[in-house]
C-alpha cells in the first residue's frame, strides 16, 4: 500500500495542498497533522502511520522537511522504514524518488543527498572534519 504523510507546524497553517499532491501521486491512505516536527513522540499521526506499515508498503511525502527536521532524524526514520521492509518517496526531491529506504539510509549517503539536505533550511547536517 502507498501511504502519504502531510504535516504543517502550527494550527494557523494549512496542509490541504500537501494532501492533494499526495492523492494525485496515488497514495491510498494519507495521515496528516498540524504539529511541530520537533518531537517524533508528539506527532500522533506519524506514529499511527508507522504502526500501520507492513512489508512492501511505501511512505510518500511532498518534501523531506515535512518528515524530518534534520538529516539525523531523516536517517533514523529511513532506518526504521528499512527495518520494516518499506519504501520511501519524496515528491519534492527527485533524487530520492524510487530509491529504497535502505539506499537512502545507508551509513554513507550519496553526495546528492548530502547536498540537497544542506540546501534545505530545516536540515542540519553533521559537521565533517577533514583528516589528512
| Domains of the chain and CATH, by start | 2-115 (3.40.50.1390)
Prediction pTM value? 0.72
Cα gap 6→34, rounded to integer Å: 9
DSSP string of 40-94, one letter each residue: GGG-HHHHHHHHH--TT-EEEESSGGGT-SSHHHHHHHHHHHHHTT-EEEETT-G
Per-residue pLDDT of the chain (132 residues; tens, 9 = 90+): 999 999 887 777 878 899 999 999 999 999 988 776 666 667 889 999 999 999 999 999 999 888 888 888 888 898 999 899 998 899 988 766 655 555 555 544 444 444 444 444 444 434 333 333
- Which of 9, 25, 70, 100 is catalytic? The answer is 9
**25 assigned to active site:** no
Amino acid at each position: 500500500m502507498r501511504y502519504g504523510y502531510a504535516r504543517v507546524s502550527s494550527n494557523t497553517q494549512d496542509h490541504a495542498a500537501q494532501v492533494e499532491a499526495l492523492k494525485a501521486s496515488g497514495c491510498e491512505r494519507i495521515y496528516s497533522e498540524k504539529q511541530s516536527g520537533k518531537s517524533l513522540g508528539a506527532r500522533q499521526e506519524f506514529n499511527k502511520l508507522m504502526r500501520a506499515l507492513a512489508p512492501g508498503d511505501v511512505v510518500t511525502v511532498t518534501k523531506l522537511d515535512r518528515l524530518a527536521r534534520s538529516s539525523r532524524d531523516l536517517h533514523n526514520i529511513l532506518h526504521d522504514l528499512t527495518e520494516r521492509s518499506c519504501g520511501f518517496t519524496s515528491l519534492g526531491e527527485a533524487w530520492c524518488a524510487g530509491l529504497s529506504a535502505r539506499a537512502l539510509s545507508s551509513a554513507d549517503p550519496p553526495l546528492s543527498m548530502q547536498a540537497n539536505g544542506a540546501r534545505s533550511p530545516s536540515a542540519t547536517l553533521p559537521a565533517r572534519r577533514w583528516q589528512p
